[in-house]
Amino acid sequence: MDASVKLLTATPVEALALTKDLVRIPSINPPGNEEACAKYLAEVLADIGFEVHLHSFGAGRFNLVANIHGRQGGKPIGFTGHFDVVPLGTRKWNFDPFGAIESEGRVYGRGTSDMKGGIAAFVAACSQSIEELREGNGVQLIITGGEETGCDGAKALAGSSGLLKPLSLLLVGEMTANYPFVGHKGALWVRASATGKTAHGAMPEQGDNAIYKATQAIQKIRGFGIEESTHPLMGHATMNVGTFKAGTNVNSVPDRAEFEVDFRTVPGMDHQCICTRLSRFLTDDIGLTSMVDVPPLSTDPEALAVKRVFGLCESLHHQPIVARAVPYFTDGSVLLPATGNPPTIILGPGEPKMAHQTDEYCYVHKIAESVTLYRSIIQSISNDPLY
């Protein structure tokens, strides 16, 4: 879809109402299907006056890029978020996960915090700042699919679409309770597999047990030494063996076993180098496949745009803002090269403790606060010739 820029601006978007509308459109990943959510928001943005582009990266899989072009011709400010949400889990919900029910100052539903509330907040802030954006350097909204399974949509968008612009600042509307963060660890998820030869369980000498090979590799990998890499804000790199799968029946020698390793990396670590080192560290009996590869993100807290955002956030938190990193990964690090490596801040209304939880919620007042905060950032940066 390509929507022409409208000359007249529609009524500004109300953030809580848009949050509820987005939550009511299921977009669970896996399996992944953002089409309905993306097309709905594309219509909302077109009505506001955005130039809108839908970008498909598979059947039912969509990203959305929307622009307001500024008259000053400088680099626009950027906002990013993701449509997809995680599955509901096995526990019973007390609130309809797609009902967007408001109760006692909270709005409940899958995606309220992670992160449709953040998307709604920056869309609302832009809708209330249209003239400032047009008179200034404009804005680009980058809303992706597939984030929860390794930033699949962001990778497709950054790699081939040609839709992304160099930005003055990128704001990632993930869940931070409106506290600004300047980085996150990278994620490298690797599947390790061992193969053997099947045989009857009563005659194991005729087979080659893959479980023995895999468990020996797991014991060895504990000495891989990934924790030696550190970062002043993010601490140590980490490694965890998270899954193990093998065997089909007890009375057979298993001919395949696999385990999955979750590496969380810090700036300065090269993921390809880690894979190469790991392959050499383990025996030839172990094959490695990369499942998720998201680089770390680190922005200089002394960057002018970052210091300005920190200053705007201080009044909200009634204390000096300290540079920190979030524990989860975001699309931000994947989008950086295609957007000119701008200063990047993770900042959104969602509750971090509600990520992927049963009865997920976001505080209504946090959504309203984030709209005010995003508007302040737009007003402070969009018209500034320094950007």
How far apart are alpha carbons 248 and 1 in whole angstroms? Answer: 48
Q: Are the beta carbons of 383 and 140 closer than 8 angstroms?
A: no
The residue with tokens 């660890």 is 185
Percent of the chain with pLDDT over 90: 91
Residue 247, amino acid: G
Secondary structure class of 288 (helix, strand, coil): strand
For residue range 42-53, what is the model confidence (pLDDT) as tens digits? 999 999 999 999
Question: Mean pLDDT over residues 278-307, rounded?
Answer: 95
Query: What's residue 10's pLDDT?
Result: 58
- pLDDT tops 90 at residue 200: yes
Length of the chain as a residue count: 387
Shortest CA distance to 274 belongs to which of 298, 258, 290? 290
- Give pTM, 2 decimals: 0.93
Q: Are the beta carbons of 52 and 1 closer than 8 angstroms?
A: yes
Shortest CA distance to 328 belongs to which of 348, 302, 305? 348
- pLDDT tops 80 at residue 5: no
Q: Are the beta carbons of 67 and 139 closer than 8 angstroms?
A: yes
Question: Mean pLDDT over residues 298-312, rounded?
Answer: 96
For residue range 342-362, what is the model confidence (pLDDT) as tens digits? 999 999 999 999 999 999 999
Residue 355, amino acid: A
H/E element holding 133? helix 130-135
* Strand ranges, E, within 112-221: 138-144, 169-172, 183-184, 186-195
Domains and CATH numbers, the chain: 2-184+297-381 (3.40.630.10), 186-294 (3.30.70.360)
For residue range 70-117, what is the model confidence (pLDDT) as tens digits? 999 899 999 999 999 999 999 999 999 999 999 999 999 999 999 999
How far apart are alpha carbons 381 and 335 in whole angstroms? Answer: 20
**169-172/235-236 β-pairing:** unpaired
Tokens standing for 123?
Answer: 């869309």
For residue range 159-197, what is the model confidence (pLDDT) as tens digits? 887 999 999 999 999 999 999 999 999 999 999 999 999
For 71, phi then psi, to 5°, come to -80, -20
- pLDDT tops 70 at residue 1: no
Is the backbone peptide bond immediately before 12 cis, with ω within 30 degrees of 0? no
Tokens standing for 113?
Answer: 């915090």
- pLDDT tops 60 at residue 152: yes
Q: Are the beta carbons of 374 and 122 closer than 8 angstroms?
A: yes
Query: What's residue 178's pLDDT?
Result: 98
Query: What's residue 124's pLDDT?
Result: 98
Secondary structure class of 310 (helix, strand, coil): helix
Shortest CA distance to 273 belongs to which of 229, 234, 310? 229
